[in-house]
Amino acid sequence: MSNGIFTVPAPVNEPVLDYSVGSSERESVKLEFEKQKSEVSDIPMYIGGEEVFTEEKVSINPPFEHATIIGHYNKGNASHATKAIEAATKAKKSWANMSHTDRAAIFLRAADLISGPYRDKINAATMLCQSKNIYQAEIDSACELIDFLRFNCHFMELIYADQPLSSSETWNRMDYRPLDGFVFAVTPFNFTAIAGNLPTAPAMMGNTVIWKPADSQIYSAAVIMEVLIEAGLPKGVINLVYADGPEVGDIVFNHADFAGLHFTGSTQVFKDLWKTIGSKLDVYKSYPRIVGETGGKDFILAHQSADPKAVSTAMIRGAFEFQGQKCSAASRAYIPATLWDEINKYLAEDLKTVKMGSPEDFSNFINAVIDERAFDKIEGYIEMVKSSTDAEIIFGGKCDKSIGYFIEPTVVLAKDPQFVTMKEEIFGPVLTVYIYDEKEYDKVLQLVDTTSSYALTGAIFAKDREVISYTTRELSQAAGNFYVNDKPTGAVVGQQPFGGGRASGTNDKAGSMMNLLRWTSPRNIKENFNSPIDYRYPFMG
């Protein structure tokens, strides 16, 4: 046992490599992409540190080329969920008793492995399985995941260092215990970094975890697990199970030791899980912590004092990067009539140059959407616009799933500010614009605030400082991440802690101390150096 009080190295955001023509990183990630694409991997579950293979092999196909098979995952069932809980329970005591510096060392090493030898592997896997171009993969599966791991180690230390006051003759201490049971991490398809963060954040705080990723992200989830094992994560601390959500949920939510849910995904699924948990409170030893980040209907609001080119650029990047499949993606824009012609002209000029296709071709800005279900849903919204008199498509609108699930970046012009594509999360490359009369700015603020049930991200573009200040105040509950003169996507760990209110989630801010606090159940310890030996108080004399 060492007597030093060690501190985690100060975290710094991982530099984003640019993969420009001729760069060494471009060549090496291309080679790794080709290698992975030409192989057929057999991807196991990981339970209690063992690789688990089953008879049920499910093929994994890149969304941009769905006839190609890059691997199979081994599908599990309820029995694997039960085994995962047993493994998590077995691993709990020694993991919780491990010093936090040793736990941090594992996650910091994992960050270094992703920054170095695993960077190409995790980026190429994300390009292949989630159809991200190299830049989108780099900012997600490399940089954001590295940042989560490094910053969370730092935040963990800040939490542990937060100690109560003591008075004379006593010493008060706060012991940051893990939760009394296991944590269930349920992760979405769209960010490899989120898939990595949801199980590791509770694990860092001494919890053991059952992790269920989205089927369409399993290929890159398995790389995260490989990295964690290589970094020295003990057996059973994180158990990765590929089975249907409701089947795993049925085992997890009926277990007395279920102590927390760390969820990111759609709003309806989260509401259903919360209701299930609420209906089973008598089953549990403790009140489970519920953390969920869910959908969005994120806005760009331009004031008449805005720079039109900055607005159109934010619309294109904010709405169409990663095919609009970011929870933060701009999907409704409010533009003053005075600026519309100019913004429309810039949109037209830029959208003409946007290329769509496989991430293999680095000149493609747009790639495929995640799967056929998503494709059909997005196409359904586009068809709805085509048949409506309240809205029209002014750019894009073509959908083709013959080779991959490709949907053109689509801009809809809505006459009715309550048109369905102004309200509902589409989760695809569809941006709806409503043009407002600049004299009715207060009315438009009201629309922004009340049109959708979500409150995740939003942006105001203006040069007028009074307007910026007023809008920021008036829209204080409309977004958990609010941007001034910037697109509403691309939150960076440690800089813009992420999460929304209303139907968008519990707003526990991934990538911040606030999130890590949810995974600890503090115990206060008071020690008296001078224990009383007479029950009588002086006033009684």
Residues lying near ligand NAD in the complex (CB under 6 A) are found at 186-191, 194, 212-214, 245-246, 249, 264-266, 269, 272-273, 293-296, 327, 425, 427, 456, 498, 500, 504-505
Instruction: Give dist(CA 437, CA 419) in Å, integer.
Output: 17
Beta bridge partners of residue 483, listed in sequence order: 459
Q: How far is the CB of 435 from ligand NAD (least distance, A)?
A: 26
Complex with ligand NAD: residue 87 or 456, whichever CB lies closer = 456
Complex with ligand NAD: residue 145 or 186, whichever CB lies closer = 186
Complex with ligand NAD: residue 100 or 132, whichever CB lies closer = 132
Instruction: Give dist(CA 281, CA 275) in Å, integer.
Output: 10
Exposed, middle or buried by CB within 10 Å (0-12, 13-18, 19+), for 114?
buried
Complex with ligand NAD: residue 8 or 269, whichever CB lies closer = 269
Helix (H) or strand (E) holding 491: none
Q: How far is the CB of 294 from ligand NAD (least distance, A)?
A: 5
Complex with ligand NAD: residue 308 or 480, whichever CB lies closer = 480
Phi-psi region of 330 (alpha: psi -120 to 50; beta: other; left: phi over 0): beta
Q: How far is the CB of 186 from ligand NAD (least distance, A)?
A: 5
CB atoms within 10 A of CB 20: 9
Distances (CA, A) of 348 to 309, 407, 409: 12, 17, 11
Residue 271 near residue 102 (C-beta atoms within 8 A): no
Complex with ligand NAD: residue 79 or 166, whichever CB lies closer = 79
- Write out the DSSP string of 192-204: HHHHHHHHHHHHH
Q: How far is the CB of 320 from ligand NAD (least distance, A)?
A: 16
Instruction: Give dist(CA 369, CA 150) in Å, integer.
Output: 30
Q: How far is the CB of 188 from ligand NAD (least distance, A)?
A: 3
Beta bridge partners of residue 484, listed in sequence order: 460
Using DSSP's 3-state secondary structure scheme, residue 321 falls into helix
Q: How far is the CB of 4 from ligand NAD (least distance, A)?
A: 37
| Range 157-161 contact pairs with CB under 8 angstroms and sequence separation of 24 or more | 157/7, 157/8, 157/100, 157/104, 158/513, 159/513, 159/516, 159/517, 159/520, 160/100
Complex with ligand NAD: residue 367 or 504, whichever CB lies closer = 504
Complex with ligand NAD: residue 471 or 504, whichever CB lies closer = 504
Exposed, middle or buried by CB within 10 Å (0-12, 13-18, 19+), for 152?
buried
Q: Which residues are catalytic?
A: 293, 327
Where do we find the tokens 């209303």? 502
Q: How far is the CB of 518 from ligand NAD (least distance, A)?
A: 14
Using DSSP's 3-state secondary structure scheme, residue 395 falls into strand
Instruction: Give dist(CA 507, CA 515) in Å, integer.
Output: 9
Residue 205 near residue 183 (C-beta atoms within 8 A): no
Instruction: Give dist(CA 136, CA 242) in Å, integer.
Output: 25
Residue 455 near residue 328 (C-beta atoms within 8 A): no
Q: How far is the CB of 295 from ligand NAD (least distance, A)?
A: 4
Residue 519 near residue 176 (C-beta atoms within 8 A): no
Complex with ligand NAD: residue 427 or 519, whichever CB lies closer = 427
Alpha helices in 266-358 (DSSP H): 267-279, 308-320, 337-353
Using DSSP's 3-state secondary structure scheme, residue 32 falls into helix
